[in-house]
Amino acid sequence: MKDFTKPHRISSLSEYTTKYDHSVADPEAFWEEIANSFNWRKKWDKILEWDFNSPDIKWFLGAKLNITENLLDRHLPDRGDQVAILWEPNDPKERPETITYKELHRKVCQFANAMIANGVEKGDRVIIYMPMVPEAAVAMLACARIGAVHSVVFAGFSSNALADRINDCDAKMVLTSDGNFRGAKTIDVKGVVDDALQKCSCVEKVIVFQRTKTEVHMEIGRDLWWHDAIKDMSDQNEAEEMDAEDLLFILYTSGSTGKPKGVVHTCGGYMVYTYYSFLNVFQYKPGDMYWCTADVGWITGHSYIVYGPLLAGAATIMFEGVPTYPDAGRFWEVCDKHQVNQFYTAPTAIRALQAHGLEPVRKHKLDSLKVIGSVGEPINEEAWHWYHEQIGKGRCPLVDTWWQTETGGIMISALAGITPNKPAHASLPLPGIQPIIVDADGNELEGNNVEGNLCVKFPWPSILRTTYGDHERCKQTYFSAYNNMYFTGDGAKRDHDGYLRILGRVDDVINVSGHRMGTAEVENAINEHAKVVESAVVGFPHDIKGQGIYAFVIAEADGIEEEIRETVSKMIGPIAKPDQVQIVSGLPKTRSGKIMRRILRKIASKDTSNLGDTSTLLNPEVVEDIIKGSK
């Protein structure tokens, strides 16, 4: 089998060091060499132009391409009959579906034609609110084919959250399904879209993929079935020519302010970086079967289920179900069934499965696994060891991959089997990535054994370009905390061996089961309850989820804790439901009226022995009350 990826796969520690040094000494030459291996309609006039202060970052200036020609058409001569997507349905009794590169190419072209026939043009925004079926990937790629900008919204978000995102990007079309199978449940999807669209006037057409065959309302003139939309469409489509810096997609993510922001990624740089990072972190080789358990609604699903793997000509598994259905051995059963070689999941799933004991693991061989990976939150040492020993059988390298929606691809991680792994350490930066640790004043902390805020001092191809419709917000959030640096929002430590350990968020963002949640966003949702006066939300350590959500609420009525949780579920989605709601008489505030979250975090974590300096508190008496109430 011809291996077109070989020249870019780093194969030894010394090669990593050489490549890394080269990537820092001459980043443009480094990335140009990788970019040269793709099909461009026209090559760049210039590799990079950047200014972190604006911010204004452009890669491969003047180049023309279509990313789908690189992940579909390019593979047809040599790999057309190879598996591109292997779909494992929710119910293990339902047959998996195998889609070759040739078939995927036809499906994408056909659906692209259907979208054009329904009025979508280059530059239009399209919302994808779909379950984990191959058609979700087809939808993303069809958008990319015709130059429409996709914005996938995780299908667990509520109609309110969906409507906000549709309106923010002024979407013309929504792609969805009738329903969604998740474990033993059948979940309504189309009804959520119908509710959301009551608040959106921009959407002209809705295309509905039939999955659960549940009865749904179809609005005449607006809604049509996916199977009807593609019926008379050709399965050939001439891809739209895109500029390297044209938008590929928008993905909404939470930050420290109330409103989620639309992180923007563009065609050329995202393509080069997701391909390169996929290949090197997972050490994917032709013929391997790769499985990432994320949902396409998150950046992990974008970069490492769809774009990265397909660009590398890989076989990528899409899984519709949940780790515990029909039992806690499902992941391992699927690994054996499809002879998975690279397995990539989240610490929260590992901890949840660990809690079920070893019985569900022992039933499966897991002997096809070569690499295991972790993403989304810090992996604690206990979970790391369990995953490494029980699943990786001590022989598979475990890659702890640190990155963000904004970074587009994996930034800090071991390269499987090439660079060393160390429990709970993301370890070393990928070639082309220049992370630094800074103190509060932005001074670089050099050498080992240092701890501070994690920044990146030089652009990489898949760095976010803007936040949709609000460039100033992008500047304020990522490029203003420190001069001439991208600020990640995470704390990090470089240990005595020089390996990086991510310490978690240093801003008002909490990470619940690997999902980012802004505390202000949850507070806004709680405040929608008519009886709520004020609220403050903090994270607390949670055995399975990593962090849980604790809400302190001043309310005009007692006994409304459950109603408050339901309000959040309605406003954002079940993933944002607070684990704890405590009704309080007041919130600890400074004289200037700022809530002292530090104190609330301590109370929520049951760590009240030393509350630190409380001398600036306006109402110290309230703290005692809250502590009493928390017990």
Q: Contact positions toward ligand PRX, by CB under 6 A? A: 253, 299-300, 375-378, 400-405, 426, 488-490, 502, 504-505, 511, 516
Q: Give the torsion sign (CA, 510, 512, 516, 519).
A: negative
Give the SS3 label for residue 542. Answer: strand
> Shortest gap between Cβ of 374 and ligand PRX (angstroms)?
6
CB of 29 to ligand PRX, least distance (A): 28
By beta-carbon proximity to ligand PRX, the closer residue of 110 and 253 is 253
Nearest distance in Å: CB 259, ligand PRX? 16
Length of the chain, in residues: 631
Closer to ligand PRX by CB, 103 or 490: give it: 490
The 8-class DSSP code of residue 303 comes to I
Tokens of 473: 């917000």
Pairing of strands 486-494, 450-456: antiparallel
Which residue's CB is nearer to ligand PRX, number 223 or number 490? 490
Contact 108, 138 (CB under 8 A): yes
Residue closest to ligand PRX (Cβ): 405
Q: Is there a contact between 315 and 86 (Cβ–Cβ < 8 Å)? A: yes
Q: Which long-range contacts (CB under 8 A, 24 or more apart) does 570-573 make?
A: 570/158, 570/160, 571/158, 571/160, 571/161, 571/524, 571/525, 571/528, 572/157, 572/158, 572/160, 572/161, 572/521, 572/522, 572/525, 573/154, 573/156, 573/157, 573/158, 573/161
> In whole angstroms, what is the distance from residue 106 CA to residue 108 CA?
5
Q: Which is nearer to ligand PRX, 129 or 154 (CB)?
A: 154
Comparison of 173 and 517: residue with beta carbon closer to ligand PRX: 517
Between the CA of residue 601 and those of 258, 303, 418, 428, 585, what are the distances in Å? 19, 33, 40, 31, 17
Tokens describing residue 91:
């119910």
Phi, psi (deg, nearest 5) at residue 82: -80, 155
Nearer of residues 463 and 583 to ligand PRX, judged by Cβ: 463
Q: Provide the b/e sequence for 490-506 (b: ≥16 CB within 10 Å).
A: bbbbbeeeebbbbebbb
Residue 622 Cβ vs ligand PRX, minimum distance, rounded to whole Å: 31
Q: How far is the CB of 213 from ligand PRX (least distance, A)?
A: 33
Shortest spacing between CB 363 and ligand PRX, in angstroms? 29
Which residues, at least 6 apart from 513, have a Cβ–Cβ distance to it below 8 Å? 346, 348, 376, 377, 544, 545, 546, 575
CB of 372 to ligand PRX, least distance (A): 13
Q: How many angstroms separate the CA atoms of 403 and 8, rounded?
A: 21
Instruction: Provide the minimum distance between the beta carbon of 288 and ligand PRX in the complex, in angstroms, as a whole number.
Output: 22
Task: CB nearer to ligand PRX: give 102 or 385.
Answer: 385
Angle (nearest 5°) at CA 273 between 149 and 478: 70
574: phi then psi, degrees, rounded to nearest 5: -55, -30
> How distant is the alpha carbon of residue 430 from its chain centre?
18
Burial class (CB in 10 A: 0-12, 13-18, 19+), 91: middle
Task: Please give the C-alpha separations between residue 224 and each of 20, 207, 238, 550, in angstroms, as whole numbers.
Answer: 51, 5, 24, 42
Query: Is the torsion defined by CA of 522, 528, 532, 533 positive or negative?
Result: positive
Residue closer to ligand PRX by CB (options 150, 425) is: 425
Q: Which residue lies nearer to ligand PRX by CB, 177 or 342?
A: 342
Q: How far is the CB of 402 from ligand PRX (least distance, A)?
A: 4
Closer CB to ligand PRX, residue 283 or residue 407? 407
Smallest distance, ligand PRX to C-beta of residue 426, A: 5
Report in angstroms the alpha-carbon separations of 488 from 90, 236, 265, 319, 477: 35, 42, 16, 30, 9
Q: Give the nearer residue to ligand PRX in terms of CB position, either 147 or 573.
A: 573
The nearer residue to ligand PRX, 426 or 564, going by C-beta atoms, is 426
Least Å distance, CB 347 to ligand PRX, is: 8
Least gap, CB of 189 to ligand PRX (angstroms): 22
Tell me whether residue 110 or residue 467 sits nearer to ligand PRX (CB atom).
Answer: 467
Residue 420 CB, shortest distance to ligand PRX, in Å, is 16
Q: How many Å apart are CA 59 and CA 288, to the nearest integer?
A: 31
Q: Give the H or E element holding residue 529.
A: none
Helix H or strand E segment including 191: helix 190-197
